[in-house]
Amino acid sequence: MRDTIVLPEAMFDGNATVVSRGCAGEALNKIILNTTGGAAPYEYIISGESDIKLSSEFDKLYAGDYNIIIKDAKGCRDTLENIHVPEPPPFIGWESGTGDELCRC
């Protein structure tokens, strides 16, 4: 007699990269997720929003702490908690002749 044991697939994993851009008070920051494992495609919901996204990039973010719920095609869920987006440096003026903003700490 033989028994068959079916092992579940490995749980998926998500890693966040934060891109801080612009000057203090602007919503130009971005979180980029790298999700592996589980069953693609993945769905994402970021804290403060109810819309489901299929993209792993969240842009137009203010500085603050964010949670992102990840759900794979089989309904498995994971939450990345307390992803910190730092406040960019304050605006100090325009770069002469270019029209580009200058931001400094």
How confident is the model over 20-31, as a mean pLDDT? 88
Mean pLDDT of the chain: 84
Is 70 exceeded by the pLDDT of residue 1? no
Is 60 exceeded by the pLDDT of residue 36? yes
How confident is the model over 84-93, as a mean pLDDT? 82
Distances (CA, A) of 92 to 20, 21, 87, 95: 17, 15, 15, 9
How confident is the model over 16-29, as a mean pLDDT? 89
Residue 18: predicted pLDDT? 95
State the pLDDT confidence band at 105, using cuts at 50, 70 and 90: very low
Q: Give the chain's domains with CATH numbers.
A: 13-103 (2.60.40)
- The pTM for the full model equals 0.76
Between CA 24 and CA 87 the distance in angstroms is: 6
Is 60 exceeded by the pLDDT of residue 7? no
Between CA 69 and CA 59 the distance in angstroms is: 16
Q: 62-80, pLDDT tens digit by residue?
A: 999 999 999 999 998 999 9
